[in-house]
Amino acid sequence: MQTLHVDLAERSYPIYIGSAVLGSKEIFSKHIHGTQVAIVSNQTVAPLYLKALQSALEGYSLATVILPDGEAYKNWETLQLIFDGLLDARFDRKSTLIALGGGVIGDMAGFAAACYQRGINFIQVPTTLLSQVDSSVGGKTGINHPLGKNMIGAFYQPMAVLIDIDTLATLPRRELCAGLAEVIKYGLICDQQFLGWLEVNIEKILALDPSFVTEAVEKSCAAKARVVALDERESGLREILNLGHTFGHAIETHMGYGVWLHGEAVAAGTVMALEMSRRLGFIGAEVRDRGIRLLQRAELPVVPPAEMRAEHFMEHMAVDKKVQAGRVRFVLLRQLGDAVVVGEYPEKILHDTLVADYRAIVRQL
């Protein structure tokens, strides 16, 4: 097991990464302060891992809230089920909430923990690769609004994150691949050496070789923790974590939540961000193409949906959280391993990026 520390002054917390972490009584008892513990999971994950978690929590007063599975349920109505469960069990403000599941569960349970009685203890047990390397680290929580993704939420840090890589054995391959989009992102934005390591080992990760999976998760969490430690509330630097996300969110919104997985939309969005970086003269075609090839080897889409026109992107991006005073800002690569947020650019470059022939780019690789 490896232990990483996210350094956020009095809100600092450890991330435990390894096999069988889920069943570790010692780790839980270290981070649970009261006697009341609520587990929030979903209908897919609970049958697989709830029992093991409950065994590790023997002796606590336990409540369990099982939500329907999917981004479509990341809304207020479902969040309300968590509050109902906590209030029905008469849980007080010293209680602890544990999220057992992927990013949707982590985001919703975290937001519920942030809001319940104005904030209770919170522990993340992410069970998908995407949530292990991304959403469980950094304290972003929230729900969707009909007019935009993650529009309602809070910055709320957990007491600890427990990443049990054994849970990836039951993860559908499509979701494993989607998680790799964020892993590859860390290499692109801030760790050239890690990108090189991924280019050598991506197939071993896909085959779930434990030491390679642990290494990939550890390096990803470490990259994210470094960035978050410098900018907890996303007032600047942290935005670089959103490489590909502005285009990606537009794809998710346009296609309907859940039609493209988040990581799939980010993968195609990352290619668009690389192309925009190239058109601005920041990087050459060879850097863009290294990104495309690695995403392809991770079985990810590298072109936006055929049906999406420039105006669709513009419309959806107008409500992106990175918009400032009406102008859409993009995370771009200044060079490999060095990302930057750009709000000043010729409109023509953006337009050309939106209408570029990505199929042709990919064909010529």
Minimum CB–partner distance for residue 286 and a second copy (Å): 36
Distance from C-alpha of 15 to C-alpha of 183, rounded to nearest angstrom: 17
> Is 249 among the catalytic positions?
yes
Whether 150 sits among the annotated catalytic residues: the reply is: no
Residues numbered 277 to 316 that lie near a second copy (CB under 8 A) are none
Annotation says 245 is catalytic: yes
To a second copy, the closest distance from the beta carbon of 183 in angstroms equals 24
Verify binding: residue 233, a second copy, rule CB under 8 A: yes
- On whether 127 is known to bind a ligand per the annotation, the reply is yes
Concatenating the DSSP letter of every residue in 173-240 gives: HHHHHHHHHHHHHHHHHH-HHHHHHHHHHHHHHHTT-HHHHHHHHHHHHHHHHHHHHH-TT-SSGGGG
Does the annotation place 182 within a ligand binding site?
Answer: yes
If one asks whether residue 323 binds a second copy (CB under 8 A), the answer comes out as yes
Write down the residue that tokens 């390894």 correspond to.
18
172 lies in the site for a second copy, by CB under 8 A: no
DSSP character string of 314-332: HHHHTT-TT-BTTB--EEE
324 near a second copy, rule: CB under 8 A:
yes
Buried b (16+ CB within 10 A) or exposed e, 229-251: beebebeebbbbbbbbbbbbbbb
Assigned token pair, 34:
């009261």
Point out the catalytic residue in the list 10, 26, 58, 118.
118
Closest listed residue to residue 46, CA positions, set 121, 116, 109 = 109
234 is catalytic: yes
* Stretch touching a second copy by CB under 8 A, among 116-124, 128-136, 171-179, 279-287: 116-124
Active site residue 238: yes
Q: Is 245 annotated as a binding residue?
A: yes
C-alpha closest to that of 112 among 146, 138, 134, 80: 80
Does the footprint of a second copy cover residue 11 (CB under 8 A)?
no
Query: What are the residue numbers of the active site?
Result: 118, 140, 182, 224, 234, 238, 242, 245, 249, 262
Site residues (vs a second copy, CB under 8 A) = 34-36, 76, 80, 83-84, 87-88, 90, 92-94, 114-119, 140, 142, 145, 147-148, 150-155, 233-234, 318-319, 321, 323-326
